[in-house]
Amino acid sequence: MIRESSLADIFQIGYYWETKILLTAVKLDLFTALKGHSLTVNEVADSLKLNSRALELVMNALVAMRVLTKGEKLYTNTPVAERHLVQSSSEYVGHLLLLHDAEWSHWGQLEQTVKTGRSPVTQHVFETNPELGAHVLTVLDRIGQGSGQGLAKSVPIHGTVRMLDIGGGAGTNAIAFCLEHPGLSATVFDLPQTLKLTKDHVDRAGLGDRIHLQGGNFHVDAFQGSYDLALMSDILHYQDGSTNAALVKKVFACLTEGGRLIIKDRFLDPAKTSPAWTTAFAVHILVNTECGECFTIQDSRQWMEQAGFRIVEELEPRAMIQGTK
């Protein structure tokens, strides 16, 4: 039975205060200023050239949010802040939060978007701000390494020799698959500016001889060669249904007989009212992409069947589907 929201729940949902406080602290690099130290408000304000009275209000709120601690007049990072919000940390996730802050103005135009159906953006941040995009991909790569390994272990290879990772970003999945399956080679297809980062990650993994990079726009540029396995991970929601249908058909053409396409994404249920996080993500996509949207497993099944895949099966509920040529 689904619990009905209370008035307190409504207010909690409606207040975006804490979100903006945290994003602002990351943007000001407050947590890096506190790295390994307990400091007064004035000391932090002086180092960052901020107003001490305003900063104290923000830092007190961060204490209440359990991101900082306070002992008398001294403020200290919590362990999670020290680990994930200090720039020099190997587990820093601030760049991903900075992306959300960069999208703040888009969310402010949600009302107009609902009225007109038109997104306030025409290009994604990876095109408008490649530097931020590269930082975000690095964070996503680190976060996704665990899931990439799990995916590589769970997907049967069946003698697969060549794999195509479409929109493969930093190469997270291609690297995981090649490490898990020594006889496999992979091609990562992505924008040329993205592949500069991909090359660094591939070289660091020692897989430069097995993972090849192909630059281009997968909507207009041809995939070179033929493949036994193709992967489309978390790219459907950046474009509309007809564009995805055309892409699935294009992938079908580059697969060998018996080759497979695996689509991994954040799928909605048939009624499009759950999972809860994905329904909110769909609104995020509405205001932060020109024409993207979230889809159902049934949508992907239809695209695969129309493209000519003989067997289409859901591998993981609301997360992964496979088509066999």
Catalytic residues: 237
Query: Under DSSP, is residue 107 helix (H, G, I), strand (E, B) or coil?
Result: helix
Continuous H helices in 130-275: 130-154, 172-180, 192-204, 241-253
Closest C-alpha to 250, from 207, 295, 220:
220
Cα(196)–Cα(135) distance, rounded to whole angstroms? 12
Cβ neighbours of residue 323 closer than 8 Å, sequence gap 6 or more: 248, 252, 260, 261, 263, 304, 307, 309, 311, 312
Q: Provide the token pair at 319.
A: 């997360």
Cα(94)–Cα(132) distance, rounded to whole angstroms? 11
Strand locations in 21-160, DSSP E? 68-71, 74-77
Q: Would you mind telling me the total number of residues written for the chain in this entry?
A: 325
DSSP characters over 271-289:
TS--SHHHHHHHHHHHHHS
Cβ neighbours of residue 128 closer than 8 Å, sequence gap 6 or more: none
Q: Provide the token pair at 189.
A: 């297809």
